[in-house]
Structure 1
Amino acid sequence: MRVNEVMTRHVRVASPKDTIREAARIMAQIDAGVVPVGENDRLVGMLTDRDIAVRAVAEGKGPDTTVGEVMTPDVQYCFDDEDIDEVCQNLGDQQIRRIPVVNRQKRLVGILSLGDLALSGGNGATGETLAAISRPGGMHSQADH
């Protein structure tokens, strides 16, 4: 099965010039903690609720801070024609739940989430991916080191 068979196609995108308030409203409307950031039809970053909390609020930045100031510019993505099994392996390895989908011209065409994989019926890869994503440790662990 290919990514383009299960991905969400109509993706809300924030601009680097938008405020984090505007981006947070998008997140609230779509009920998600992440929004891709695009400029001139290109994916330039991702903004997560964690980015807003850690890179903006914790640093004393206000709601009029631009998305470009706090977004994550190094974006992991997959291609729309990739095999789901390969993408699931990458999601698990990188411990991410959602990944932007681009075509071979690197234009944003969708987003793939664990929910999309679960709804597709999959081949059991969703459970394995979730287990890998949820494993303890890593950069964001509160476990004693």
Structure 2
Amino acid sequence: MNAEQFNAQHDIGTAVIAYPVTRDDAPLITRTRSKAWTLGHGAAVVKVDGYAGGICLTHVDPAPADTDTFELPLSRCNITAVDNWLDQAGVFAKGYWEAVDGKLTVTGLRIGSDYQDRIVAKFGDTIVRHADGTHTVRRVIERGEAS
């Protein structure tokens, strides 16, 4: 989509999900704060709340009507971004460590500060944020397990 097409479909203030660097990063659930424009090298970009500079339109999606319920897969590549996403939502998270081949290794994220209510998402799992502000984890089905 080019800048003119984007502007024809979306006003300033449109709710969007933006991926500032790559789509593997944690998304930024935000609103546009400018019209889209085309850079000298041809990339179309738009400014959004919460991010300095423009984000390529290839990394901006209109937000679903219910932006309070959102799913985000966890991977080794995006763990820092997911942690930052949870921090922005006011949710405590830190690396989850396990022994792997005799060495302590980060294998996911522990989410929540209360021991009773915290959950663990491992790499490959999907973190689900619900409209009431709670989080759950949808586990990846590993090879070799019954389907």
TM range (shorter): under 0.3
Using CA pairs under 8 Å that are at least 6 residues apart, name the structure with larger relative contact order, 1 or 2: 1
Say which structure is richer in strand. 2
Q: Whose helix fraction is larger, Structure 1's or Structure 2's? A: 1
